[in-house]
Structure 1
Amino acid sequence: MTKTHGHQPDHGNQTRDSATSGAPLTPPHAVIADPFWERYTELVRTTVIPYQWEALNDRVEGAEPSHAVRNFRIAAGLEDGSFHGFVFQDSDLAKWLEAVGHSLAQHPDPELERTADAAIDLIAAAQHPSGYLNTYFTIQEPGQQWTNLLDCHELYCAGHLIEAAVAYHRATGKRVLLDVVIRLVDHIDEVFGPREGQLRGYDGHQEIELALVKLFEATGERRYLELSRFFIDERGRAPNFLREEWERRGRVSHFVGKMAALDLSYNQAHVPVREQNVAVGHAVRAVYMYTAMADLARLTGDASLHDACRVLWSNMTGRQMYITGAIGATHHGEAFTFDYDLPNDTVYAETCASIGLIFFARRMLQLEPRGEYADVMERALYNTVLGSMSMDGRHYFYVNPLEVWPAASAGNPGRRHVKATRQPWFGCSCCPPNVARLLSSLGEYLYQVSDDDRTVYAHLFVGSIVTLSVAGHDVTLRQESSLPWSGRATFTIGSLAAREPRGQHGPGEAAFQLALRVPAWRAGEPQLRVNGEDAAYNVNDGYALVDRAWREGDTVEWILPMAAQLMTAHPNVRANAGRVAIQRGPLVYCLEEIDNGGPLASLVLPADATLEERVSDILLPGMVMLDGRAMREETFDSLGETNRGEAGTLYRPFMPAFTEVPVRAVPYFLWGNRELGEMNVWLRTHAGL
């Protein structure tokens, strides 16, 4: 049995810290109180987190083993064995711990906390005296640390561990994991940098950059922010570190075990980040990097980084994003391809990529509150992120297609990455714990206070309670929302506690501006009512502004017209030529074979189709389905030998024959929860039918 590297802390006798002295303020976390979203936050707390713990311990029957926990046991010297799994397997446990931290912040759970403490003790025991921590290099390649940054994800794994430590410390006040990552980062800060003897390098998979910003915000230690900036500034510079490292290793790839070509655009390391103007390469790596760039632009005032973020955002969301808020068009490298290349049936659209897009959108909102950022955040959240997880919380999509033909998924090697059913786990299982950590921290994405302490932004319409520091007061704001099924959100001003004398306003009053997002999906002009009376508002950067002296009990109703709309794609999106998609509010809809029969490709939706809203509890309470009429093109087999052609013929002269049929559309995020079958988001249409 190998020697334990770290120490064995006693969580049972551990004291809980107050907030770290001198740390920058962190944004408040709203408590979710919403009939739609509580189902998902509770599912994460009561099912997803426990289920994923079992998966990480290889105790889910029929699922691919994780080995993540066992790797830490071996690295800590508690068990004999070899490393198993991907080189980045440590990150799965880290993301799970982050989800636990966010969950405990809202719902204290002593048993879950004890489980997490034991996992943290295991991580601490695996840490080297130097501060280094990575199970792959501890077990499999000792002494080879920091020699293959291109492939081996050491800094990526460290980044996820940092994020877990910050979340867990914020929730529990316990310092064990925070102290572990501080020692780890102090070690990294000694190894990497511009000084003589240091590595002027960076990881092949970005993540530590945004994590270091969180560690800076949690501790107030400026060195961590500067280290993040070093990694961002160094990336892609000449001479190129990753290229030189690749040459030193004889151009051998860790993943294929032999010489392989190098494409630095895959790692967004082909040019310095400020010179990048098109989203390229591995989609998750890209959006994690863009997130850190936006963080640094905000915290350092770097205008060149801000400009680069704007340009990359515009390209990615304006030319390379699916209607569902998914990104990454190809399974070759889980990557972007080129502008307007958005195939529906061979799409990759990794769940983690949409989660990273949400991270980036939130940071852009912090840089400059604009409705377009929150629109994309909402689109990705409701459609791709929710759609990636089954209603039971135990099955997941890694790939999120917009068109599924189960026979093709099974029989075509080019489509086998497109699963027709959600899977219980994956050997590379980065997505399920990523979903858990996002949904358990949803309260951090709803609100924002402007830098001048005068405006409260409501980015997402999710029932919640939050206390915000604004205009010299601690203001409690309660939101009630009927989204996504209908478009009404009501805000009630709760307590107004003055922190200091402020202006000429009387007791129980606070003068500030409430900014309500005007969503792009609205089907008409929104209506504003203040204390039951219609009220005028101005719109700026996608937000309706309501400026007044507020009193306790004041209410604001924000009524957003919602209707099913047929959406079309830019003409350059060849995959969607002659097709429409259905959207209602923030939700994209799809057709499933269980409701409409097959093949779905034979259905043609008239351009003037009327879609009737129907409330049903088939999948979720209060779910809105859409019923209408379409034309089905008759198949060759249905025509028969005496009717225009020979039955069973592979090709025939074009002689269209259509039959009117009923069609039903359901929210895309709920597809695949009933039975195996086809699914389509984009439908053929014809203006003359």
Structure 2
Amino acid sequence: MALQEQTVFPRPIELKNVSIKDDYWSPYVKLVRDTVIPYQWEALNDRVADAEPSHAIRNFRIAAGIEEGAFGGFFFQDTDLYKWLEAVGYALAAAPDADLERVADEAISLVAAAQQADGYLNTYFTVAEPGKRWTNLTDCHELYSAGHLIEAAVAYAGATGKKALLDVACRLADHIDATFGDRPGQIRGYDGHQEIELALVKLYEATGERRYLDLAGFFIDERGRQPSFFHQEWEARGRTSAWTPGVVQKTPPSLSYHQADKPVREQEVATGHAVRAMYMYAAMADLAVRSGDDSLLAACRRLWDNTVRKQMYVNGSIGSTHHGEAFTFDYDLPNDTNYSETCASIGLIMFAQRMLQNEVKGEYGDVLERALYNTVTAGMATDGKHFFYVNPMEVWPAASEGNPGKHHVKAVRQKWYGCACCPPNVARLLSSLGHYAFSAGEGTLYSHLHIGAEAKLTIAGRQVGVRMASGLPWAGQVGLTLAEAAGSGDFTLAVRVPAWSAHTSFTLNGEPATPEIRDGYAYLRRDWQAGDVFGMTLDMRPRRIYAAAEVRANAGRVALQRGPLVYCLEEADNGAPLAALAIRAGSELREVAGEGRLAGAILIETEGLRLEEPANAGGALYRSEPPTRTPSRIVAVPYTLWGNREPGEMQVWVREEP
């Protein structure tokens, strides 16, 4: 489809014009730059002892003809390198590093050497099955891999001005544009794993080439049309799957799993693989804002509502089952078997950011914040070298070891994964954190995340520099200072007021202020001058969270939250079994200082009860005498920090008793 593009909407401030300077987040950004990126480079080169091999660099060397050998890893193994390069691009945008840039340039030369003469680039189909490119989009993720290359190329070019990888990406995108579409001889299809769509929008923004935007629109509009492309493709290859070569299947690919059971504009419920869904919804929102397409935006709103109101965990994670890393159905949110892939929460953040470009509503920023402060950072250990793929609500290490249905739930973070999509995804998100903090529209500067940062932009014809100071997540003071404000003329500051803050007060230059509160944002318009400070004090009192009655897994249970942080119980503080504990209803929630590895964090302490066996139980499995209830001190730690001490049980939702 040819889009009728609109150009006026709130856009993130360019990453090179935003610098993170925050007591909480700067250490994360530094950890990614100094530890995670170098560590992941070693992993990509298979130089991390006792970790699953990546094969990524070696695959490119084989595809480029530099060495001989067989392809290793998954069909989409190339994306591990691409996401690493994207993270490097964002890191270089924040701070130049000649040594890191040199390593990245060498990797880019290797990628370019593996590209085919017609622009095609995928090491699996170059090395393992050169005659079968574009024949199994359902399983093999060729367009998904291409999308991650494009995103890396745009990020790296934006940071360094170097176009080598961008040229590779454009040649590949041109090849895809020639191959896919509704013209004679083209493939009228789309990928099993969405990603190319949002990448093409980025490529359009970087190059101004409308064909890329239109191609993204084609992939979105074509999805779910009947007869199904995935079923046609399945029949054409003899009803087989790449995951079980040579085995004829009785059942065709699930269309709802691939978000292809109906056209995207008709979809109402989040289904299937959670990461794929989020990447597609993000692309839909991208296209909706650029085209002014009301039907596409309406679909985005429906899918957003279903996701966050009926299928999202309290920590901002999504994906209820490990079977297909997928959504299940409304209110089915099990705590001890959920999948909640780190990548899925990153996808949700991307979706939220793009919805904020369509309509500035606090709910989008609230969910973005929830997923960021809880699931994304929980996915990486504080050493930057161990990672969670799955983010459970409850962990019983013995069950993870002994129950096949819980093998996916890990009690400790892993060094690496054979399918290592999450670690580099965390790196690229945290490296681009400034992208999510601010946006600017006509005459309005929006502050979405309360993260210490400095930003420069042009607004209302004025050159402006702003400085955000924030005590989050430990303290509730937030201040937005106009560090620079050339010229004169009114413009508006719009600062998100988090829904978790029950009582929020505002000041302007130290005096009480009453901004207009609209859709979760505080608006204040004036002729801002250098030195002006818009302040906000947030309510940081710990509070109880209760799930809807339809969420059966949490009936009679309570979760704890303070500011943006969700809390959990760990065995290290409370002993085992955690299932024997209950929080007393109405008990005071007290703030206490963390110690040791949790030094600097604020923990929550309260009174509770512990169920214990009667003295005469005799070890019976079942009995008629009830357990005794003894008083117990309960300590909760931020979920994002769990698993950084000795391994043990963990639980977010806790029984509540009088």
Report the TM-score, using the length of structure 1 for normalisation: 0.92
AA matched with 1:210: L
Name the SS of the counterpart of 2:187 in structure 1.
coil
Of 195, 201, 206, the residue aligned with 2:194 is: 206
**C-alpha contact (below 8 Å) 1:26/1:217 kept by paired residues:** no
Q: Which residue of 1 aligns with 2:470?
A: 481
Q: 1:512-565 CA distances to partner (integer Å, 9 max, x unpaired)?
A: 11111111111x321111111011122111101111111111111111111110
1:104 and 2:92 equivalent? yes
Q: Which residue of 2 aligns with 1:513?
A: 492
* Structural mapping, 1:434-583, within 5 Å: 434-450=425-441, 453-497=442-486, 508-522=487-501, 524-583=502-561
Q: 1:203-246 CA distances to partner (integer Å, 9 max, x unpaired)?
A: 01000000000000000000000000000000010121111001
1:351 and 2:329 equivalent? no
Name the SS of the counterpart of 2:587 in structure 1.
coil
**C-alpha contact (below 8 Å) 2:11/2:357 kept by paired residues:** no
* Structural mapping, 1:150-299, within 5 Å: 150-257=138-245, 258-260=247-249, 261=251, 262-299=253-290
* Structural mapping, 1:352-371, within 5 Å: 352-371=343-362
AA matched with 2:615: G
**C-alpha contact (below 8 Å) 2:60/2:123 kept by paired residues:** yes
AA matched with 2:460: A
**C-alpha contact (below 8 Å) 1:402/1:682 kept by paired residues:** yes
Q: Which residue of 2 aligns with 1:133?
A: 121
Q: Which moved more, 1:434-443 or 1:264-273?
A: 264-273
Q: Which moved more, 1:415-424 or 1:610-619?
A: 610-619
Q: Which residue of 1 aligns with 2:393?
A: 402
**C-alpha contact (below 8 Å) 2:255/2:261 kept by paired residues:** yes
1:58 and 2:29 equivalent? no
**C-alpha contact (below 8 Å) 1:509/1:552 kept by paired residues:** no
1:89 and 2:89 equivalent? no
**C-alpha contact (below 8 Å) 1:201/1:231 kept by paired residues:** yes
Runs of 4+ residues deviating >4 angstroms:
none
AA matched with 2:293: D
The Cα of 1:28 is off from its aligned counterpart by 2.2
Q: Which residue of 1 aligns with 2:570?
A: 592
Q: Which moved more, 1:282-291 or 1:485-494?
A: 485-494
Q: Which residue of 1 aligns with 2:615?
A: 640
The Cα of 1:654 is off from its aligned counterpart by 4.6
Determine the C-alpha separation between the residues in 2 that align with 1:292 and 1:516: 25
1:681 and 2:652 equivalent? yes
**C-alpha contact (below 8 Å) 2:381/2:387 kept by paired residues:** yes
**C-alpha contact (below 8 Å) 2:91/2:432 kept by paired residues:** yes
AA matched with 2:144: Y
1:314 and 2:302 equivalent? no
Determine the C-alpha separation between the residues in 1 that align with 2:497 and 2:214: 37
AA matched with 1:233: D
Q: Which residue of 2 aligns with 1:72?
A: 60
Q: 1:23-46 CA distances to partner (integer Å, 9 max, x unpaired)?
A: x98732221000100010000000
AA matched with 1:668: Y
Name the SS of the counterpart of 2:367 in structure 1.
helix
Determine the C-alpha separation between the residues in 2 that align with 1:541 and 1:445: 18
AA matched with 1:74: I
The Cα of 1:622 is off from its aligned counterpart by 2.5
AA matched with 2:104: A
Q: 1:595-639 CA distances to partner (integer Å, 9 max, x unpaired)?
A: 0001000001011011210123433553101111110011x3xx3
Determine the C-alpha separation between the residues in 2 that align with 1:598 and 1:221: 59
Name the SS of the counterpart of 1:265 in structure 2.
coil
Q: Which residue of 2 aligns with 1:39?
A: 27
Determine the C-alpha separation between the residues in 1 that align with 2:46 and 2:91: 23
1:668 and 2:630 equivalent? no
Q: Percent identity?
A: 61
Q: Which residue of 2 aligns with 1:13?
A: none
Q: 1:80-128 CA distances to partner (integer Å, 9 max, x unpaired)?
A: 0000100000000000000000000011110000000000000000000
RMSD: 1.1
**C-alpha contact (below 8 Å) 1:98/1:167 kept by paired residues:** yes
User: What number of residue pairs does the alignment pair up?
Assistant: 644
AA matched with 1:305: L
Q: 1:182-203 CA distances to partner (integer Å, 9 max, x unpaired)?
A: 0000011000011000000110
**C-alpha contact (below 8 Å) 1:510/1:551 kept by paired residues:** no
The Cα of 1:468 is off from its aligned counterpart by 2.0
Determine the C-alpha separation between the residues in 2 that align with 1:239 and 1:411: 44
Of 365, 369, 373, the residue aligned with 2:364 is: 373
AA matched with 2:626: M
Determine the C-alpha separation between the residues in 2 that align with 1:557 and 1:56: 45
Determine the C-alpha separation between the residues in 2 that align with 1:539 and 1:47: 41
Determine the C-alpha separation between the residues in 2 that align with 1:377 and 1:622: 24
**C-alpha contact (below 8 Å) 1:358/1:377 kept by paired residues:** yes
Q: Which residue of 2 aligns with 1:8?
A: none
Name the SS of the counterpart of 1:379 in structure 2.
helix
Determine the C-alpha separation between the residues in 1 that align with 2:278 and 2:312: 12
The Cα of 1:429 is off from its aligned counterpart by 0.4
**C-alpha contact (below 8 Å) 1:397/1:422 kept by paired residues:** yes
Q: Which residue of 1 aligns with 2:322?
A: 331
The unaligned stretches of length 5 or more in structure 1 are 1-23, 498-507
**C-alpha contact (below 8 Å) 1:25/1:217 kept by paired residues:** no
AA matched with 2:622: Y
